[in-house]
Chain A
């Protein structure tokens, strides 16, 4: 499509790229426990003992294979958050993601890294750093990270 009457044209290309991502062993196991048991699992490095979530095959600090799975529970502390209020196109859906919504980092008990996810409260303005948050799961789970719908503030 171009501007009739203008001397500078625009070429439109609405891309739709289909991808098939292999989750790999560690992610597949995580998503299996999440889907079947509503469990959030971390993985421990045998050397430095740090527990990582999301799980990964090797410890970045020690460069050894991570081995022990740890149940991190479904509660954590809100380390940092924001309330997203600007409109943007979500390429996963092709339309604008509904705003406002909360998004932040949860410190699950025992984990050395934080999990990035949607966060919410009865009133988004009530979100505060340090709040206790609890995971809310989807009824029909599919085996991906959105099986956790969001983390909700526990004060209610």
Chain B
């Protein structure tokens, strides 16, 4: 081995890079967030050719390349298409862990919206569950004006059978004790 390598301590340099970004939303996206901010209303945009309602909205239909301008109101309630419970923390995260993150198809939309889920009983979470948007009191015009989606209570008769496998939860184990998020 080269002599100079003997006993050489490898150096690791830590750097925190801070950069401020300011993104223009454009007219279409701005309208979507203004409706949420001012009216607590969620809008979708419809492609007349493909007959698809996009949420979040966009100016061009990716599938047929038509320009889009037909706004429709969609519900603030929808169906949970998929979800996960995130346990590991990282320096950049929208909420403290554990957090639930999922895709919600709002009634009237044909595409899913990714967002946080809260006020949910972990054991009762399931694909197909009905959820409703919870809005912030003071809204500013961005995606976090919706704090999260929470489960909608439905009667026993309407409830579907759980799709989550029954797992024996050990006290203090990975998912811990049954609790609300």
A contact residues vs B (CB 8 Å cutoff)? 1-2, 7-25, 27-29, 31-32, 67, 69, 89, 91-94, 143-144
Contacts and interface: CB of A to CB of B under 8 A. Distances in A.
Binding site secondary structure of chain B: mixed
Nearest to A144: B13
Contact of A7 (B2, B5, B31): B31
Nearest to B23: A11
B91 to A, nearest CB: 6
A15 B18 contact: yes
A28 B8 CA distance: 7
Contacts of A21: 12-15
Nearest to B142: A11
B102 interface: no
A143 B8 CA distance: 13
B10 interface: yes
B20 A14 contact: yes
B32 to A, nearest CB: 9
Given A1-B140, A25-B10, A13 B23 contact: yes
B33 A2 contact: yes
Contacts of A12: 20-23
A8 B15 contact: no
A12 B33 CA distance: 14
Q: Which of A16, A27, A89 has the most CB of B within 10 A?
A: A16
A11 B25 contact: yes
Given A7-B31, A18-B14, A19-B14, 11 more contacts: A10-B25, A13-B20, A14-B19, A14-B20, A16-B18, A19-B15, A20-B13, A23-B10, A67-B2, A92-B18, A143-B11
B12 A22 contact: yes
A89 B10 CA distance: 31
B16 interface: yes
B34 interface: yes
Interface string B16-48: 111111111111011101100100000000000
B4 interface: yes
A8 B14 contact: no
B91 A14 contact: no
B140 A2 contact: yes
Contacts of B137: none
A92 B14 CA distance: 11
A14 B26 CA distance: 20
A45 B22 CA distance: 47
29 contacts: A1-B140, A2-B142, A7-B30, A9-B30, A9-B33, A10-B22, A11-B23, A11-B25, A11-B142, A12-B20, A12-B23, A13-B21, A14-B19, A16-B16, A16-B17, A20-B14, A22-B10, A23-B13, A25-B10, A27-B11, A28-B10, A29-B5, A29-B8, A32-B8, A32-B11, A67-B2, A92-B15, A93-B18, A94-B18
